Amino acid sequence: MVFLHPLADFIDCNSPVSNPSPNYYYEGYCPQSANLLRLPRTSLVEAIAQSLMQQLAKDERYCQEGKMYGVLLVELPTGEQRILKAFSGLLNGLSVVDGWVPPIPGREEVALEEAQTLAQLETIKQELINLQQLPQRQEYQTRSHEFSQQLQQMRDRHRHCKHQRQEQRQQICATLTGVALTIALEQLDQESRQQGIEQKLLKREQNEVLQPLVQVITAADTRILELKQQRKQLSRQLQTQMHAAYSLMNFYGQSRSLQQLIPSGLPTGTGDCCAPKLLQYAAIHNLQPLSMAEFWWGSQSAAGDKIPGRFYGACAERCQPLMGFLLSGLRHISEPLSPYPQAASEEGGKCRFFKTTREMGQGRQGRQGGQETEETLSIIYEDEWLIAVNKPPGLLSVPGRYFDTQDSVVSRLRNLLPDGMSLNAVHRLDQDTSGILLLARVDAERLVPRHRQTYCQLSRQFQQQQVHKVYEALISGIITVDQGVIELPLWGNPNNRPYQQVNWQYGKPSITHFQVIAREGNYTRVEFKPLTGRTHQIRVHAADIKGLGNPILGDRLYENSTKANRLHLHARELYFQHPHLGETLHFQTKTPF
């Protein structure tokens, strides 16, 4: 069976690629070295994928069922380039299809158990349907409605009769006396009692008719709960068997089962996605991956989050947790690259990568933890519109209100700029946080329109979460979870500024992605990617019990005591679109701790 396809099957190899820069990166941390590993999605592999889409469009088998497809550009030991293609899950009920990469080894080992379990699950499904569609349910609804109507009509009639009896009593008491009055009142009382008996008899009849139906329905509901629990246990059992059987190999030649890689468990279907299939096959057959792309084809997904013909990255639940292991041992991908995976995934243009380039003059001496420190400000990038600096800890981003808080990044830079030039900080970093700070330059005298637009456009990118920030921190204590998302509403108590706290009533939404880089003794090195930019967001998300439950080392505000001489939080990377050059800029600094 042929799995390696020549490029000529998809593209004209003589046609130049318009944009060789990667548009996305599949990435993960090596479990052994903790290095960030990346595999790009380039314009070339996207062109190959689009050609595959055109081929799929000609065959109805691929247009009915919506699913993810993927292509991997690989290099053979001879230096030739070939294409691998894969589909997620099953294709028209088949796991092995001619021309497509086969499933990850292990599925056949549990094929019998899987078939038996799926048959049991199907039996449970049919029984659940039958129990939910019991004729007694409809009969109960119908008879219950009928009795309710009868009771309501009876109550209305009795209420009218009661009103008439009250009028009759008044008239009788005014016209009759003695025995005649007693007999007349007794007749009215008897009529009232009779109507009460009539209502009780109807209720008794209602109970006699509905009670057997209720018993049947209650028994059915109890059975439904049992079946759902049984179905859940069977699904978990099958998932555990499959995760234990599925064996992945990386480019070091190491093999691990899914269960070994993620002991805490993974969603059903993990291992059946395109990316693991493609990388697994390449690793086994000594093929060097060059770039990869995944896309959705067929009908739109049921949830509406997948659109046919659109490219997507590694799925967060099934693929991303495996990516670090799968990429381990792959040559030439451990160096920091750009652009940021999502920053330019749907945008054209170039991306430029910058590290710290030069240092500017020394500032005043600051005091941290009782020791004198020299605060050095490094310029990473500058042009006529903006400046990016590497802010040291202990230095304000912008000047404060008082005389002793005037020293800041902005005030220092203003002393270096030409006359008439001003600066606006597009965002802020806490005084104790180090790292990349972005500032917009403004020609205050000439009021050049493009200068005015710089600050507005950059601010808009921050507000619309189009700027991607990467922080690195050292956490006090051991974090047992390798990665996840923290979503906690933050609120600043006006009586205790600048302290922030989690408040579900008044707090503003805040979201932070985190991933453990390494565990170092009693500390954990963590990478944070905040999607929102609340005050002290990462610090609170780390310290709060509903977040990581462990404060950042040196955080004097959210940690009761610390012996560290600084807050171990660093704004390491920044990705954004230049407002005038049409390029994606990627700034990166070395973490100083």
Rounded to 5, what percent of the chain is helix, strand, coil? 35, 25, 40
Residue 543 backbone phi and psi in degrees, to 5: -80, -35
Residues in the chain predicted with pLDDT less than 50, given as ranges, are 333-351, 356-358, 361-374, 419-420, 444-447
226-262 as b/e: b if 16+ CB within 10 A: ebeeebeebeeebbebbbebbbbbbbeeeebbbbebb
- Whether residue 560 contacts residue 537, with contact meaning beta carbons closer than 8 Å, is answered with no
Catalytic residue among 430, 432, 544, 555: 430
Write down the pLDDT at residue 403.
67
Among the listed residues 204, 206, 199, the one whose alpha carbon sits nearest the alpha carbon of residue 142: 206
Residue 262 backbone phi and psi in degrees, to 5: -130, 80
Give me the chain's average pLDDT, please.
Answer: 82
Write down the pLDDT at residue 1.
52
- Whether residue 522 contacts residue 550, with contact meaning beta carbons closer than 8 Å, is answered with no
- Whether residue 436 contacts residue 388, with contact meaning beta carbons closer than 8 Å, is answered with yes
Q: Where exactly are the structural domains of the chain?
A: 5-98+289-327, 125-242, 351-588
pLDDT in tens, 11-46: 876 655 555 568 888 988 777 666 778 899 999 999
Alpha carbon distances (Å) from 415 to 100, 359, 408, 419, 431: 63, 15, 11, 9, 20
pLDDT in tens, 521-536: 889 999 999 988 899 9
Tokens of 85: 């293609």
**Nearest-angstrom CA–CA distance, 438 and 270:** 40
Check if 544 is active-site: no
Q: Could you tell me which residues are beta bridge partners of residue 37? A: 28
- pTM listed for this prediction: 0.43
Write down the pLDDT at residue 123.
93
Tokens of 239: 């998932």
Among the listed residues 523, 500, 525, the one whose alpha carbon sits nearest the alpha carbon of residue 515: 525
Write down the pLDDT at residue 337.
33
- Determine the residue type at 264: S
Classify domain 351-588 by CATH architecture: 2-Layer Sandwich (3.30)
